[in-house]
Structures are given as structure tokens and as C-alpha cells.
């Protein structure tokens, strides 16, 4: 037994030494001349998108190849977070040199291994052509480590300034200084509302209470949004570090991360990261030996969209049905377990360590006057480069879609982009040059939301999209307050009627009236914003609604009951294939007579159109 009791934390000096060491080990990856680790780093994306398209098999194969050739010293294989270009997954990046290989299959890997890794000649044929256009207009702050480090290795996080912010805060700053820095940085909540984070922290700090909580909202429920998941999968320590900083600033010693159970990889990485942070004493009773105590617990959501709403989230952590409660009191006064609570979302937290390390002025230099910093968007729908992008606030929608996103497949016409999910609205094609920030989106009747951005082209029906979001809201309404529970249901009935060609012009007025009542009467933010998708599509695409109601037509050819399949007499070769394949016998004709579709019998399944060898059957909206 030694006289000295073993310390269960690392000191700040030790962390800084570890940083130097760790950076040297991965020096080749970032082009540092003087390194002592592997010469080549093969970075394989291990986040949900690329795992789904087979990156796991690539990792297995790489490990086999490395063992066979005995290159363990020379080559490092790193499972990283998301690179962003999810449409082209699985992605493998070889460093140094940023050689990005996309849609890699195991056979390609043999070639990359032989030519590039062993022979030093990159395989031009497989290198992504989109890499430059995709990355050049982006600025990665919240995603800085995604694709750059192994998220399951705390040392790699430490290498890139990891836990330096926490070290600085605990040695050089009073809690008030931290709050001032976050306030001055202009960081606003990235989860939807855009409330200034520093103001929230200050409100909680002012409360007199022994117990306070820091909560992280990782219940990313907006369909089509996967920013927070990617951050947690690619850089979980940034969130842990930020939560500890928030804890120090407001005087809290316990944090909760409320995360969707649908994100198993993110949950696992976060678990690993928390365990590593505890081991280094970066969470625990005496963090960095500075006498500050903070720890984090993970709570899994269980598939309720409403739990992304602040009060519902806390009520769910308490073990109840996640139903929102009226405000005030605000969470900063009476939140989780009735104690003062700060709730920020994942992306908001991910910005915090950088603000501390690089300074308020640096952060202020990015973005627009009222929206500082960057925003991560999950861009999907009718776009070539589906994936995750991080742009400085103020970037235009055109730049996102055409420069970063690579345009719309099949050169179809851009019709609108939907932001903010079921609480947001759409931006039509003629406003494509709008700079994206909190205030410009709100003034257009949409909202920043958490960052889902769905691109729609001319084949998308705007009434159908509004109906889709309403179906979502009706399904996910918690049922506590009548305006949301009953009002959205009535709206859905009306809009369904319209898409079935049974609507009247009065229905449009009623939709507007109901929307206003729900906006004014619903209990929580989700209910109040539920009519937004309808209102904004009605604002910009009123003609489509009118076409459905008055002309009984769906201009985009989506709404099935208004759809007619028609056989073009001139090009029909009277082969009879359509009639044979029609499941309901709605097509008749013969060698002598042109084939026709009996519209009363037709169930609009579209089989005839797909089977016709001469493309003689048309969809007529």
C-alpha cells in the first residue's frame, strides 16, 4: 500500500499533456509533419446512414486486410461520425489528403487497399466528384469533429481542444463570466424557438436552490431531421463538456440527456463517452481536481413526438405520460422535479465549448446581426446530395440547394423547401434567395425549427404535404388540450376532403379560421404551431388548393382520387397487356378496337402504366 491515495481525476496539466501526445499520435491525419502514429488513416463513417448502407462490412474487411498484410503500425482504421454526404454512403476517407471515396463496396475496397494504401496511388475512379462543391460553402462548428475523430475515443476528442473549455472555465472564469460569454456570443437555441441560451442560463443561475438540473433535449422528433443524432454519433463529448460547463455556470450538479430510443448508435456512443469522461474525472465529484461536481444520466424516450416540448420532456423524465403543462412558471424557475432547470438541445450545447475556447468575438464574426454562428440542416427529399450540412447563418436557400446540395435530380423544377417540420412551413421557389436566419424564416411564415429541410419539386403536391404534416400532428397530439386534440383532427378531415376532390371553397375559409383558433388556444408550442404547414402552403400555393376544390384536379398528379389513367389512342398498339394485368378488369378493347379504361372501375393502382411496353398510358391529373 502506498501512502498516497490514488487520485480519481486527471489534473488540467495532465489533460493538456495528453492533448499533445494524442495530437502527435494522429498527426498524419491532419497533415502535421512531426507525428509518431500511423502514416495513413482510413476514416470509415460509422453513423446510422452509412451503417445502413453497409459500412460495417467495410470495417470488418479493412481489419482483415490490415491483419493479412501486417500493416498495423503503418495504417490506422478509424470508425468516425457522419461526413454529411449521406446519399453517397458508405463513405471512406483516406488521410492525409482528404481523399473521399463514396458508395464504396467491398470489391472497391480491395482496389483502394492495393493501389492507394499499399501503392500510394489514389483510385481516381472512385473518388467523389461532389466533395468540393459539398464542403466549400459549409462552415463546421457544431459538426467540427464529425468525420475527423473516433467518437468512441476520448483521447482523440481531447486532441482537438477537447475539454479545454471546461479547463478554462474551472480555472479562469466565475460562473457569471461564463454566462456573460454565452450571452455576448448571441448563441440562440437550435431546437426550434431560438431563445438566447445565455439568458436562459442566467435565469436559472439567479434561482436560489440547492438542486438544479441541466437537461439536454436529444428527442429529435421532426421527421426528416437528423442533426442531433449525427452530433451525438460523431462527437458525443462536445455535448458532455458543454453540459458540465452549463452546470458550473448555473450551479447544477446533475444533468440528464433525454434521447430517442430510435437512435441506438447514438445512445451507445453517448454511454461510452460518459463512462470515459468519468474515468478521466471529467465527470464526477471533483472534476479536474477543482472541487466541482457534475454527472450525467441518460434517459430514453419512448416514441412520443410531444416529448420534444420542454415541459413534456421533463414530465416524461419524471416517469409520466409526456403531456405539456401551462407556463409560467418557466423551467428555469420550476422545471425537472420542480427544480430550476436549463434545457438546451444537442446542437446548442455542441457550440458552447468552441465559444469558450475561440472566444466571443470569433463566434460573433459568423452569421448575421441577430442570428450568430452556424446552423446544421438535414437536407433531404428531392435533392442530389442528401445529407447533413452546416452553414453560416445568412446563407441563402439557393446556395444550400444548388451549390451544396447539387441541385434537384432529373433537372426537375424546384417548387418549395419545407423547414421546421410539423411546426414549420414552406419557402416557395420565388423566395429562394432569402438569407436563412431565425427572423427571416419566421417572417416568411416558416421557422428555423431544429433543422430539417425537405426539398420538393414540381411532382410534389402541396396540399398532400400539408395533409401529411397534419396526419403527423393528429397522431402525435398528446390529447391534453382540446384545440390541438379536436382542432387538428377537424382540419385533417377538411383537408382529406379536399384531396379527395370533395372540398368546397368554404372549406378553405374554415381551415383558416380553425388554424387561428388553434394558434391562439393550444397549450404548448407544438399545438400552437401545428397549423403552420397548412397556413404557409395556403399562403404560397393557394392556386393549388383552388385547383383541388374548384377544378377537382391535382396539378402535381399526386392525389389519387383525382387521378385518371388514360390510354392514348394514337400510340396504343392494341397488344392487350394492360387489360391482362389490370387487377379489377377495368380495361377493355381488342385488336379491332382501341383499349379504354373504365374510370368507374379503375382503382388507380398504376399497374397498366408500368406494364405498357409502348408508354401509351398517361397519368392525367
Chain contacts with another protein (rule: CB under 8 A): 48-49, 51-53, 86-89, 220-226, 229, 261-263, 299-305, 316-322, 337, 378, 380-382, 386-387, 418, 421, 452, 454, 456, 460, 465, 468, 478
Residues 232 and 216: beta-carbon distance below 8 Å: no
Closer residue to another protein, CB minimum distance, 247 or 322: 322
d(CA 330, CA 334): 6
Q: How far is the CB of 93 from another protein (least distance, A)?
A: 17
Q: Which is nearer to another protein, 49 or 392 (CB)?
A: 49
Q: Residue written as cell 454562428?
A: 373
Nearer to another protein, 53 or 185 (CB): 53
Spatial distance between the Cα atoms of 542 and 532, rounded to a whole number of angstroms? 14
Q: In the complex, what is the shortest distance from the CB of residue 498 to another protein, in angstroms, rounded to a whole number? A: 18
**Smallest separation, CB 108 to another protein (Å):** 18
CA distance 436 to 396: 6
Answer yes or no: are the C-beta atoms of 387 and 226 closer than 8 Å: no
Cβ nearer to another protein, comparing 48 with 515: 48
Q: Which is nearer to another protein, 438 or 472 (CB)?
A: 472
Nearest residue (CB) to another protein, 472 versus 595: 472
397: closest CA among 354, 339, 436? 436
- The 3-class secondary structure across 498-526, one letter per residue, is HHCCCCCHHHHHHHHHHHHHHHHHCCCHH
Toward another protein, which CB reaches closer, 353 or 424? Answer: 424
**CB of residue 151 vs another protein: minimum separation in angstroms?**
16
Closer residue to another protein, CB minimum distance, 202 or 220: 220
Minimum separation from the CB atom of position 303 to another protein (A): 4
H or E element, residue 343: strand 341-345
> What are the Cα distances from residue 319, in Å, to 207, 298, 300, 313, 331?
25, 13, 11, 10, 17
Minimum CB distance to another protein smaller for 144 or for 382: 382
CB of 40 vs another protein, minimal distance in Å: 27
Quick check: 185 and 363 in contact, CB under 8 A?
yes
CB of 535 to another protein, least distance (A): 18
Those residues whose C-beta lies under 8 Å from the C-beta of residue 348, and which sit 6 or more positions away, are 187, 188, 189, 190, 191, 197
Of 84, 76, 91, the residue nearest 26 (C-alpha): 76
The Cα 379–Cα 455 span in angstroms is: 7
State the minimum distance, in angstroms, from the CB of residue 408 to another protein.
12
Please tell me the chain's helix, strand, coil percentages from 3-state DSSP, rounded to the nearest 5. 45, 15, 40
b/e 413-446 (16+ beta carbons within 10 angstroms → b): ebbbbbbbbbbbbbbbbebbebbbbbebbeebbb
* Identity of the residue, 27 or 191, whose beta carbon is nearer to another protein in the bound complex: 191
In the numeric block, which cell numbers belong to residue 16? 493538456
Cell representation of residue 620: 392525367
CB 47 within 8 A of CB 82: yes
CB of 388 to another protein, least distance (A): 9
Q: Decide whether 322 or 487 has the Cβ nearer to another protein.
A: 322
| 548 neighbors 503 (Cβ within 8 angstroms) | yes
**Taking the complex as a whole, how short is the minimal distance between the CB of residue 320 and another protein, in angstroms?**
7
Minimum separation from the CB atom of position 454 to another protein (A): 5
Longest distance between any two alpha carbons in the chain, whole Å: 105
Least Cβ distance, residue 354 to another protein (angstroms):
24
Q: How many CB atoms lie within 10 A of CB 36?
A: 10
Residue 75 bridge partners (DSSP): 40
Q: Which is nearer to another protein, 319 or 613 (CB)?
A: 319
d(C-alpha 119, C-alpha 111), whole Å: 10
Residue nearer to another protein on the CB measure, 155 or 219: 219
For the bound state, the minimum distance from the C-beta of residue 316 to another protein, rounded and expressed in Å, comes to: 7
Amino acid at each position: 500500500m502506498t501512502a498516497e491515495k490514488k487520485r480519481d481525476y486527471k489534473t488540467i496539466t495532465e489533460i493538456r499533456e495528453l492533448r499533445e501526445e494524442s495530437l502527435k499520435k494522429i498527426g498524419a491525419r491532419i497533415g502535421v509533419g512531426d507525428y509518431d502514429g500511423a502514416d495513413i488513416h482510413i476514416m470509415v463513417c460509422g453513423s446510422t446512414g452509412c451503417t445502413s448502407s453497409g459500412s460495417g462490412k467495410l470495417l470488418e474487411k479493412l481489419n482483415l486486410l490490415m491483419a493479412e498484410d501486417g500493416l498495423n503500425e503503418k495504417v490506422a482504421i478509424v470508425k468516425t461520425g457522419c461526413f454529411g454526404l449521406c446519399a453517397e454512403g458508405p463513405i471512406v476517407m483516406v488521410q492525409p489528403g482528404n481523399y473521399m471515396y463514396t458508395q464504396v463496396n467491398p470489391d472497391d475496397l480491395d482496389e483502394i487497399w492495393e493501389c492507394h494504401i499499399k501503392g500510394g496511388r489514389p483510385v481516381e475512379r472512385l473518388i467523389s466528384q461532389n466533395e468540393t462543391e459539398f464542403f466549400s460553402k459549409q462552415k463546421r462548428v457544431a459538426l467540427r469533429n464529425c468525420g475527423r475523430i473516433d467518437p468512441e475515443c476520448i483521447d482523440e476528442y481531447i486532441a482537438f481542444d477537447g475539454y479545454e473549455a471546461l479547463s478554462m472555465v474551472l480555472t479562469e472564469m466565475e460562473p457569471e463570466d461564463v454566462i456573460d460569454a454565452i450571452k455576448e456570443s448571441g448563441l440562440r437555441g437550435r431546437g426550434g424557438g431560438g431563445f438566447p441560451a445565455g439568458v436562459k442560463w442566467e435565469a436559472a443561475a439567479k434561482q436560489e436552490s440547492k438542486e438544479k438540473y441541466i437537461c439536454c433535449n436529444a428527442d429529435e422528433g421532426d421527421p426528416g431531421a437528423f442533426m442531433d443524432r449525427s452530433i451525438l454519433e460523431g462527437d458525443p463529448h462536445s455535448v458532455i463538456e458543454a453540459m458540465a460547463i452549463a452546470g458550473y455556470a448555473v450551479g447544477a450538479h446533475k444533468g440528464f440527456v433525454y434521447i430517442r430510443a430510435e437512435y441506438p448508435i447514438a445512445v451507445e456512443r453517448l454511454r461510452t463517452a460518459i463512462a470515459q469522461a468519468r474515468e478521466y474525472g471529467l465527470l464526477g465529484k471533483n472534476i479536474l481536481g477543482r472541487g466541482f461536481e457534475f454527472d450525467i444520466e441518460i434517459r430514453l424516450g419512448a416514441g412520443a413526438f410531444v416529448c420534444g416540448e420542454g415541459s413534456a420532456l421533463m414530465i416524461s423524465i419524471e416517469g409520466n405520460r409526456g403531456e405539456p403543462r401551462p407556463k409560467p412558471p418557466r423551467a428555469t424557475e420550476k422545471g425537472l422535479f420542480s427544480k430550476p432547470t436549463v434545457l438546451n438541445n444537442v446542437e446548442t450545447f455542441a457550440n458552447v465549448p468552441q465559444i469558450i475556447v475561440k472566444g466571443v468575438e470569433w463566434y460573433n464574426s459568423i452569421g448575421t446581426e441577430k442570428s450568430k454562428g452556424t446552423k446544421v440542416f438535414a437536407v433531404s427529399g428531392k435533392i442530389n446530395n442528401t445529407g447533413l450540412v452546416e452553414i453560416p447563418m445568412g446563407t441563402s436557400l439557393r446556395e444550400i440547394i444548388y451549390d451544396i446540395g447539387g441541385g434537384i435530380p432529373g433537372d426537375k423544377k424546384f417548387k418549395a423547401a419545407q423547414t421546421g417540420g410539423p411546426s414549420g412551413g414552406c419557402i416557395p421557389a420565388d423566395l429562394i434567395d432569402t438569407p436563412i436566419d431565425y427572423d427571416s424564416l419566421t417572417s416568411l411564415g416558416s421557422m428555423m425549427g431544429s433543422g430539417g429541410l425537405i426539398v420538393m419539386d414540381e411532382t410534389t403536391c402541396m396540399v398532400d404535404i400539408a395533409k401529411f404534416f397534419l396526419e403527423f400532428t393528429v397522431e402525435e397530439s398528446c390529447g391534453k388540450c382540446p384545440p390541438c386534440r379536436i382542432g387538428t383532427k377537424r382540419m385533417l378531415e377538411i383537408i382529406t376532403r379536399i384531396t379527395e376532390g370533395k372540398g368546397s371553397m368554404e372549406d378553405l375559409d374554415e381551415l383558416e379560421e380553425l388554424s387561428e383558433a388553434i394558434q391562439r388556444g393550444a397549450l404548448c408550442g407544438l399545438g400552437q404551431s401545428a397549423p403552420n404547414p397548412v397556413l404557409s402552403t395556403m399562403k404560397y400555393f393557394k392556386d393549388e388548393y383552388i385547383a383541388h376544390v374548384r377544378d377537382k384536379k391535382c396539378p402535381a398528379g399526386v392525389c389519387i382520387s383525382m387521378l385518371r389513367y388514360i390510354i392514348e389512342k394514337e400510340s396504343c398498339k392494341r397488344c392487350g397487356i394492360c387489360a391482362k394485368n389490370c387487377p379489377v378488369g377495368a380495361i377493355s378493347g381488342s385488336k379491332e378496337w382501341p383499349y379504354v379504361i373504365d374510370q368507374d372501375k379503375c382503382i388507380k393502382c398504376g399497374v397498366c402504366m408500368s406494364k405498357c411496353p409502348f408508354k401509351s398510358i398517361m397519368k392525367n391529373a
